[in-house]
Amino acid sequence: MKELVIDLEVEKNEILKRYRALLRACKATMQKGDKAMIRKAFDMALESHKDMRRKSGEPYIYHPIAVAQIAAEEIGLGTTSIVCALLHDVVEDTAVTLDDIEREFGKKVAKIIDGLTKISGVFDTNSSLQAENFRKMLLTLADDVRVILIKLADRLHNMRTMEFMPRDKQLKLSSETIYLYAPLAHRLGLYAIKSELEDLSMKYTEHETYQFIKNKLNEKKAEREKFIRDFIEPVKKVISAQDLHSDIFGRPKSIHSIWNKMKKKAIPFEEVYDLFAIRIILDSQPDQEKADCWKAYSIVTDLYRPNPDRLRDWISSPKANGYESLHTTVMGPRGQWVEVQIRTKRMNEIAEKGFAAHWKYKESSSDSGLDLWVQKVREMLKNPDSNALDFLDDFKMNLFSDEIFIFTPKGALIQLPLNATALDFAFEIHSDVGASCIGAKVNHKLVPLGYKLQNGDQVEIITSGKQTPKEDWLNIVVTAKAKAKIKSSLKEEKRKIADDGKEILERKMKSLKITYNSDNIYKLSYFFKLQSTQDLFYNVAKGLIDMKDLREFVASEKIVELKPQDKIETDQVQNLLRSVKTKDSDILLIGEDMQKIDYKLANCCNPIPGDDVFGFITVGDGIKIHRTNCPNATKLMSNYGYRVVKARWTNQQELAFLTGLRITGIDDVGLINKLTTVISNDFKVNIRSITVDSDNGIFEGSIMVYVNDTEHLDNLIKKLNTVRGITSVTRFDSIEKAS
């Protein structure tokens, strides 16, 4: 095998050539003494890596110089970062220690190098993505974002020079890049780097598709360039005539974004119309930026017809990562849609270089969205409750998702994650507004709490002093802030209500001459099938247990206390039983002859035909018909089984039974009319009473209706649920509860 001959002199010259190119890239940010500092870092790196070579056979020093070059040229970082980029591998791969670095270059450089060394283990070639390590890496991001920016430069160079790597490592690095590094670059506003990382990942993970799209783009390159020239020419003329200084060019879309579009819309390459975007970069004074951008927009849309649905204004409300630009899609000269991006030089630098450019323009954007983002990351990382893997999912969901901008009625801007609801918005304004929210008006139209907000919606929250957070709200909200507030409110609210209920119950028991002691409280909890005494107090306060229910309890206790079994004449019960049973059956048929047999429908459960029922012989009050799932059924059946009579309904349809329906929804013109039409006309059901309460756009009603049986009732409920604006229709058991 022929031995590889290395010309060390040629290599030495190449290293110096690359070093000089790096110095030229740093020139813009260099201050006095910086050049010497960079030289010192370069010499240390050169010495430390002198015997090391890359997989390609090249000297290892090419890699740190290239990473420093990317940091300076493509991200726009300053001297500290250039020094760190040159030294980013020395502590990990050579004999140099962090103490050596600190002694030579100071604390700041040592801290960043330490961060870079720590996070290299997160994605080393032997480990898969470890959530806990990822969390540590982001803690470093919260300390000094330069660690991540240099790591991105390092990854970009590795991806650019990956052809000499073994296939398994290519796939592994590509997967990590698409999973984490590309979204991170996007979030930090580094759009050029994000697109290149996506394309390079695709080159290795979906090589054939990548090559196919690349070849297709090359085939039509000349034709596309002519189209771009034809499109730009008239725009340039008018812009110059208006005294605007601009640079206009066509920028091809990335292969990865074209592939995404093909997949998303399920279309072939030929049908992807926006293979490129026209970019207009204006040279504007800071106070004229916004006006100049809109002026340019006006010129473009005078020349070419815009698509009104495709205007994106990130100048008035920049993205969280600081991105500012005006995007529109217009119909080009050959009947083809073309995306046009309008921005100033400053905006373009922030779009290309992301976070780094923010430092340069810090004075003009002290409350930059990115600072808020880093602050949010810090909050999430310090949350002791979050499990590492859940955290990773939350992080990707909350921080890599697109955001939407929502306006308050006074025009203030609130930023929320995609899929946020009206209720999320309420909690974002203030916990108290969220907790008392009963509905919302979006663009002046009433919507329910779970309404998913769209970019640019104007939202007015409707609150009520009576409202408190509900359990099902947890399924409505998506922001972590809203979820946490609802959970703590529910606990606190239940405790408060239970305290009130305790006092109410004490008064009610006193008026019914029931001793208020722990024994009776436990008995009551058991009687109402509740799991704790707190639940009992809570139900009393909420009106779910009232005087009538307590009387039922007293009655059941009194039967035991005052009417023991031996006091009821056995023959009396037997006589009653004989009178209700038919000749050939021991089942009581309800509805057959109500005049002859003395029975009543129990108020505690209000049975109607179709319900499973039984008869219960009372003393002095004839037979009571209860539903088998009546709250009192178990006690009656277990303690007084000898008084229970089997019962079923006859099939007589003309009998009508009274039952109650509770209806809730969002108030709308003619809602009651729609409801009564369904009940009276469609179902031929008589209404005995209707009570309606409408508060701030929320409708609540109780309707007492006469129905034939459960099937009749179920069909009516189904039909009522289809009425627009109705959110729930439920049957309630007791007539008294309607009031």
Task: Give the 3-state secondary structure percentages of the chain, helix then strand then coil, rounded to 5.
Answer: 55, 15, 30
Bridge partners (DSSP) of residue 437 are 463
- Cβ–Cβ < 8 Å for 506, 536: no
223, 339: one domain: yes
- Cβ–Cβ < 8 Å for 421, 448: no
The H-or-E segment that residue 692 falls in is strand 687-695
Active-site choice (11, 14, 93, 143): 93
CATH code for the domain of 349: 3.30.460.10
Distance CA 664, CA 586 (A): 43
- Cβ–Cβ < 8 Å for 691, 662: no
Confidence of residue 372 (pLDDT cuts 50, 70, 90): low
Confidence of residue 333 (pLDDT cuts 50, 70, 90): confident
DSSP codes joined into one string, 698-734: EEEEEEEEEESSHHHHHHHHHHHHTSTTEEEEEEES-
Judge whether residue 343 has pLDDT over 90.
yes
Give me the helices (H) in 450-512, please. 480-511
Please name the residue that has the structure tokens 């890239």.
25
Contacts of residue 634, defined as CB under 8 A and 6 or more positions apart, other chains included, come to none
551, 667: one domain: no
State which of 365, 383, 402 marks the end of a domain. 365
State which of 365, 389, 424 marks the end of a domain. 365
The H-or-E segment that residue 294 falls in is helix 289-303
Confidence of residue 562 (pLDDT cuts 50, 70, 90): very low
Distance CA 551, CA 553 (A): 5
Please name the residue that has the structure tokens 């690359």.
18
Confirm whether 3 is domain-assigned: no
Judge whether residue 188 has pLDDT over 90.
no
Q: What is the pLDDT of residue 68?
A: 92
Candidates 546, 408, 430; CA nearest to 482 is 430
Distance CA 654, CA 651 (A): 9
Q: What is the pLDDT of residue 577?
A: 62
Domain extent at residue 609? 546-651
CATH code for the domain of 31: 1.10.3210.10
**Is 287 an annotated catalytic residue?**
no
- Enter the DSSP assignment of 254: P
- Cβ–Cβ < 8 Å for 337, 331: yes
Confirm whether 601 is domain-assigned: yes
277, 221: one domain: yes
- Tens-digit pLDDT profile for residues 156-165: 999 999 988 8
Q: What is the pLDDT of residue 326?
A: 92
Confirm whether 375 is domain-assigned: no
Judge whether residue 319 has pLDDT over 80.
no
Extended strands (E) in 283-388: 312-313, 326-331, 337-344
639, 673: one domain: no
Confirm whether 224 is domain-assigned: yes
Judge whether residue 179 has pLDDT over 70.
yes
Confidence of residue 367 (pLDDT cuts 50, 70, 90): very low
- Cβ–Cβ < 8 Å for 361, 368: no
Quick one: tokens of 687?
A: 């209404």
For residue 466, give the 3-state DSSP assignment. coil
Q: What is the pLDDT of residue 128?
A: 40
> Whole-number mean pLDDT of the chain?
77
Distance CA 408, CA 406 (A): 7
Q: What is the pLDDT of residue 129?
A: 45
Quick one: tokens of 143?
A: 């300390």
Q: What is the pLDDT of residue 622?
A: 72
Distance CA 591, CA 523 (A): 36
Active-site choice (14, 58, 73, 92): 92
Q: Can you give the C-alpha Rg of the chain in angstroms?
A: 38
728, 643: one domain: no
Confirm whether 422 is domain-assigned: no
**φ and ψ at 416, to 5 degrees?**
-135, 160
Confirm whether 428 is domain-assigned: no
Judge whether residue 581 has pLDDT over 60.
no
Distance CA 556, CA 637 (A): 12
Confirm whether 533 is domain-assigned: no
CATH code for the domain of 701: 3.30.70.260
- Tens-digit pLDDT profile for residues 711-738: 888 888 888 888 877 888 888 765 444 3
Confirm whether 395 is domain-assigned: no
Q: What is the pLDDT of residue 739?
A: 37
233, 310: one domain: yes
- The residue-averaged pLDDT of 303-325 equals 82
Candidates 591, 603, 597; CA nearest to 546 is 603
- Tens-digit pLDDT profile for residues 21-36: 888 888 877 788 888 8
Please give the single-letter amino acid code of residue 523: K
163, 52: one domain: yes
State which of 205, 229, 250 marks the end of a domain. 205
127, 272: one domain: no
Judge whether residue 275 has pLDDT over 90.
no
- The residue-averaged pLDDT of 457-468 equals 85
- Tens-digit pLDDT profile for residues 624-663: 888 877 777 777 776 676 777 777 776 655 566 778 888 8
Confidence of residue 200 (pLDDT cuts 50, 70, 90): very high
The structural domain count of the chain equals: 4
Contacts of residue 35, defined as CB under 8 A and 6 or more positions apart, other chains included, come to 23
Q: What is the pLDDT of residue 619?
A: 64
152, 244: one domain: no
- The residue-averaged pLDDT of 172-191 equals 78
Return the percentage of the chain with pLDDT > 90, whole number: 9
- Enter the DSSP assignment of 436: T
Please name the residue that has the structure tokens 């806990």.
132
**Is 519 an annotated catalytic residue?**
no
Q: What is the pLDDT of residue 557?
A: 64
Candidates 584, 578, 571, 583; CA nearest to 597 is 578
158, 254: one domain: no
- The residue-averaged pLDDT of 459-476 equals 86
Instruction: Sheet with 698-707: list strands edge to edge.
Output: 687-695, 698-707, 657-666, 726-732
645, 663: one domain: no
Length of the chain: 739
**φ and ψ at 344, to 5 degrees?**
-95, 175
47, 195: one domain: yes
Judge whether residue 134 has pLDDT over 60.
no
